[in-house]
Amino acid sequence: MEKLHLFTFSFLLFIVLSLALLTFVFCFFAEFKKSKGKDVKIDGKLCEIPESEAFLFGLTALICLSAAQMIGNSIFFFGNCPNSNSKERTSCCQLKMPTISYILLIISWINFGTCIILISTGTSMNNRQPYGKGWLEGECYLVKDGVFVGASILAFVSFGCTFASALITLRKRYQVVHDEKPNKSTS
Domain ranges of the chain: 2-176
Q: What is the mean pLDDT of the segment spanning 9-22?
A: 86
In this prediction, residue 122 carries a pLDDT of 86
Which stretch of 39-43, 162-166, 180-184 has the lowest confidence by average pLDDT? 180-184
Give the count of beta carbons closer than 10 Å to the beta carbon of residue 173.
21
- Contact indicator for 61, 119 with CB cutoff of 8 Å: yes
Between the CA of residue 143 and those of 26, 140, 150, what are the distances in Å?
16, 10, 12
Give the count of beta carbons closer than 10 Å to the beta carbon of residue 18.
12
Strand partners, 46: 43
List the one residue out of 80, 150, 70 whose CA is nearest residue 118.
150
What mean pLDDT is reported for the chain?
Answer: 76
- Contact indicator for 34, 126 with CB cutoff of 8 Å: yes
Instruction: Please give the model's pTM, rounded to 2 decimal places.
Output: 0.75
Which stretch of 32-36, 37-41, 92-96 has the lowest confidence by average pLDDT? 92-96
State how far the Cα of 43 lies from the Cα of 128, in Å rounded to an integer: 16
Beta-carbon contacts of 124 under 8 Å, excluding residues fewer than 6 positions away, are 135
Which stretch of 49-63, 67-81, 131-145, 150-164 has the lowest confidence by average pLDDT? 131-145
Place 94 in a pLDDT band, splitting at 50, 70 and 90.
very low
Strand partners, 49: 129
State how far the Cα of 134 lies from the Cα of 39, in Å rounded to an integer: 13
State how far the Cα of 165 lies from the Cα of 54, in Å rounded to an integer: 32
Which stretch of 9-18, 86-95, 106-115, 133-142 has the lowest confidence by average pLDDT? 86-95
